[in-house]
Chains A and B, each alone.
Chain A
Amino acid sequence: MVGADIEGLIKFFSKMPGLGPRSARRFVLYLLKHKHQKLLPLIDLLAHTAEHVSECTECGNLDTENPCTICSNPRRNKAHLCVVEHVADLWALERSGAFHGIYHVLGGTLSALDGIGPDELRIPHLKQRIQSNQTLELTLALNVTLEGQTTNHYLAAELASPGLKITSIAHGVPLGGELDYLDSGTLITALSARRTLETES
């Protein structure tokens, strides 16, 4: 039996992504056992984060600075804008280190069934940014779902303008993927997007 406060803490942590009641109990017990090494520094970190982290008014990323470190980095290519669905997608692309432009977090995808229209997303702000940054290339890196692709097509139609190249990320076989284990849809998409191999001769 544990006290109501600790029980409340366990219940709170059990609602976190990746944690269930059992892992939340272990987590809380670990924190309580290591009060000075883990619990108190965690409290400081959380308080600092809550106070300083905010949504970037430019791209929608979460950072301690506003505009975020990506938007304020002068070495970033401001003419290349990449549209992603959520901050997690932005972080995933950043981890890859393959993109050197700036981002725009939409905050979701269009879905009338869930009541999400263009005004619920950051689409008007995206239009403003394209104009103010004089964007030359817009890369749509949205999920390959029905909603993601609908949003892709909507944005492509809505934002098309002379001088703006609109691209989307490729779909197909993942690196390390074995064809035998892939679904037919992925294989069809991969085959239709096949490319000529470059040879030295």
Chain B
Amino acid sequence: MEWLDEGLLLRTKPHGESNLIATFFTQLHGLTTGYIRTNKKYPLQPGNLYHIRNKSRLETHMGLFTVEQHETFAPIICAALISPIKLACINAIRTLLITTLIDHDATEEFYIRLKDHIHEICLSGKTEHYVLFEKDLLTHCGFGLDLTRCAVTNVRDNLTYVSPKTGRAVTESIGHPYKDQLFHLPTPLSDSNTPWNKADILDGLKITGHFLQRMLHEHLHRAIPPERAFLISLINASKVTNVI
């Protein structure tokens, strides 16, 4: 069984003195783990993008990976290493991917969007793309949020709240009597032309966090990785109010 793919390195575990067991999120093969004979001179960096060649006897066997760094991703990971919030985003992304995804469940569209989100977070400093990543992750896992129209009236304007039960948006007039039980919907999440601010990011994380918690707790019996809470604490502590 031989295939070529590209993937984001999520985790490495040392095996013996210089070899590794590495988990990637790949474009065509989803979450996949393989064995790598490494050279200590060129260590593999989780968070980086690699070209992967897999060789295994059967499809179900753990393959022997030969990897080569994707040059276009180098500036991204460099930008992440020097910024606490960008680094926390990368850590939260990779831990969430490992915690939520099942092996070999690939969606090319999600993979491409994930790469775009990482690019925007690290090179443009747009932390809001982390919220969009979590929204896409929920959609990929079958828990998509419907934030484009009101669940009751079907209108597309003035969407202000999100139901914690259905993940669907409602307008101000419909949701107001129940506002204590609903999440506040940040405007940029339903209208992509509106710029984000810090409060929008935190509101967005509250919504995605609730559904991630539900999905992980009820279906996978796992807890949300602490990296996510650390990221939220950094965003909370940041002094800048619009772009972080």
Contacts and interface: CB of A to CB of B under 8 A. Distances in A.
B75 interface: yes
Contact of A185 (B11, B78, B226): B78
B74 A184 contact: yes
Interface stretch (B43-51, B106-114, B181-189): B43-51
Contacts of B17: 17-18
B88 A150 contact: yes
B17 to A, nearest CB: 6
Contacts of B71: 184
B227 interface: yes
Interface in A174-201: 183-185, 188-189, 192
B98 A149 contact: no
Contact of B91 (A18, A117, A146, A192): A146
Interface string B75-87: 1011011101001
A153 B87 contact: yes
Interface in A142-158: 144-147, 149-150, 153-154, 156-157
Contacts of A17: 17
Contact of B95 (A112, A144, A153, A184): A112
B87 A113 contact: no
Given A145-B43, A146-B87, A183-B42, A117 B78 contact: no
16 contacts: A18-B17, A112-B225, A112-B226, A113-B225, A146-B81, A149-B81, A149-B82, A150-B87, A153-B88, A156-B84, A157-B84, A183-B69, A185-B74, A185-B78, A188-B75, A189-B78
A146 B90 contact: yes
Contacts of A192: 78, 82
Interface of B: 11, 17, 42-43, 45-48, 69, 71, 74-75, 77-78, 80-82, 84, 87-88, 90-91, 94-95, 98, 225-227, 230, 234, 237
Contacts of A188: 74-75, 78
Contact of A144 (B69, B81, B227): B81
Pairs A-B, 9 closest by C-beta atoms: A184-B74, A153-B84, A185-B74, A188-B78, A149-B81, A146-B46, A112-B226, A146-B47, A185-B78
Contact of B11 (A113, A117, A149): A113
